[in-house]
């Protein structure tokens, strides 16, 4: 029996007066996967997350979490959420923040101490549990927010920009935490603008623009198959040109040559031809399109990541 998706949406929309914040979001997230949610500012990412966790109602459309229709109170106890922007009272200790959230989620008193200890250990704050939030750096506060999201071992976790305030070591630690969540069967919905972070951890990715999914698949599927090749070769330019030209257009920069349209099956023939002509072949590298390259192509943006004719951010 195929397990139910952890998240399923159908034509989910959200309108603020005349502004469409989310326009017909339809997608499914499999149970146990790490799912990346990408899009430019104003695309509707945070709006979608707020609808799914119950912070704002949709204008129309439907959604299901963990097999139940959106809004089910018991399901809310089985999900965790790290918002993009949050702030805890500076006079509270980390443990007091976690105790408060245990109370809000209705956790039994008997299980709170172990749940808090586990959450602090996961995010690396075990030794700072009694310290006040006001003494924490931004990165430590981000870790505390992640600990709140992981209270009670949720089945589904929404992480909205979880590494935004972290240094490289902290980002590495969060990636490890996310991988550990997957290992125990937790579904992770990762909303991020850091494409490298998404490439590291996500099983599948959805790219949204103007509130609708414009691409969905694995990282490799989104990047597509490249037919470009880089060659590090030395020898007489006329010999190199004579062998390379039949394989299509190319560019050269010093000893590096870039061929635009070479099929994988043609590579042995190309290398054999170069060697027969007395050319020395030092390296043969496929040119792989990055997720950032593909992201910009999908959005029709420029090299700086700014898309053209995009409306201002919606609420």
Go through the domains of the chain in sequence order and give each one's CATH number: 7-220 (3.40.50.300), 225-287 (3.30.70.100)
Residue scoring higher pLDDT (118 or 2)? 118
% the chain with pLDDT above 70 = 90
Cα–Cα distance for residue pair 6/176, rounded to 1 Å: 21
271 within 8 A of 284, measured Cβ to Cβ: yes
Selection from 185, 198, 173 nearest residue 78 by Cα:
185
Place of tokens 């694995």: 218
What pLDDT, in 10s, does the model give residues 51-79? 999 899 999 999 999 999 988 888 888 99
Residue scoring higher pLDDT (84 or 297)? 84
pLDDT recorded at residue 222: 77
Provide the pLDDT confidence category of residue 244 given band limits of 50, 70 and 90.
Answer: confident
For residue 247, count other CB atoms closer than 10 A to its CB: 18
Selection from 190, 168, 194, 192 nearest residue 179 by Cα:
190
Question: What single-letter DSSP state applies at residue 121?
Answer: H
Place of tokens 């997350």: 49
Question: What single-letter DSSP state applies at residue 290?
Answer: P
Residue 237 CA, chain-centre distance (Å), reads 44
What distance, in Å, lies between the first and last C-alpha atoms of the chain? 41
Cα–Cα distance for residue pair 94/109, rounded to 1 Å: 18
12 within 8 A of 20, measured Cβ to Cβ: no
How buried is 88 (Cβ within 10 angstroms: 0-12 exposed, 13-18 middle, 19+ buried)?
buried
Q: What is the mean pLDDT of the chain?
A: 84
Over residues 147-153, the mean pLDDT reads: 91
Over residues 255-270, the mean pLDDT reads: 83
Global pTM?
A: 0.76
pLDDT recorded at residue 287: 72
pLDDT > 80? residue 50:
yes
Residue scoring higher pLDDT (195 or 283)? 283
pLDDT > 50? residue 312:
no
pLDDT > 70? residue 143:
yes
Provide the pLDDT confidence category of residue 81 given band limits of 50, 70 and 90.
Answer: very high
Over residues 37-46, the mean pLDDT reads: 81
Q: Is 83 helix (H, G, I), strand (E, B) or coil?
A: coil
138-149 vs 109-122: helix crossing angle, rounded to 10: 140
pLDDT recorded at residue 303: 35
Over residues 120-141, the mean pLDDT reads: 90
**With the C-alpha atoms ordered 117, 122, 128, 132, is the resulting torsion angle positive or negative?**
negative
Provide the pLDDT confidence category of residue 315 given band limits of 50, 70 and 90.
Answer: very low
Selection from 190, 183, 185, 180 nearest residue 154 by Cα:
185
What pLDDT, in 10s, does the model give residues 83-128? 887 888 899 999 999 999 999 888 888 889 999 999 999 888 999 9
pLDDT recorded at residue 301: 52
């Amino acid at each position: 029996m195929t397990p139910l998706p952890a998240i399923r949406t159908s034509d989910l929309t959200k309108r603020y007066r005349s502004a469409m914040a989310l326009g017909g979001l339809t997608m499914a997230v499999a149970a146990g996967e790490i799912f990346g949610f990408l899009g430019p500012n104003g695309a509707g990412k945070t709006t979608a997350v707020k609808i799914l966790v119950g912070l704002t109602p949709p204008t129309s459309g439907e959604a299901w979490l963990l097999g139940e229709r959106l809004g089910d109170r018991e399901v809310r106890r089985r999900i965790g959420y790290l918002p993009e922007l949050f702030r805890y009272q500076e006079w509270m200790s980390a443990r007091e923040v976690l105790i408060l959230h245990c109370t809000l989620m209705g956790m039994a008193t008997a299980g709170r101490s172990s749940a808090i200890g586990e959450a602090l250990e996961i995010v690396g704050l075990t030794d700072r549990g009694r310290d006040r939030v006001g003494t924490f750096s931004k990165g430590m506060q981000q870790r505390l927010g992640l600990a709140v999201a992981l209270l009670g071992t949720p089945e589904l976790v929404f992480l909205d920009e979880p590494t935004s305030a972290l240094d490289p070591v902290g980002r590495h630690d969060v990636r490890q935490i996310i991988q550990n969540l997957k290992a125990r069967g937790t579904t992770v919905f990762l909303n991020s603008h850091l494409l490298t972070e998404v490439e590291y951890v996500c099983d599948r990715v959805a790219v949204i623009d103007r509130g609708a999914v414009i691409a969905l698949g694995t990282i490799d599927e989104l990047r597509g198959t490249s037919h470009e090749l880089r060659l590090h070769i030395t020898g007489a330019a006329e010999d190199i040109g004579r062998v390379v030209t039949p394989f299509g257009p190319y560019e050269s920069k010093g000893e590096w040559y870039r061929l635009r349209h070479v099929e994988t099956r043609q590579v042995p023939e190309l290398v054999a031809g170069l060697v027969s002509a007395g050319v020395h072949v030092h390296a043969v590298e496929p040119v792989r399109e990055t997720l950032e390259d593909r992201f910009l192509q999908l959005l029709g943006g420029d090299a700086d990541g700014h898309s053209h004719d995009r409306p201002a951010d919606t609420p």
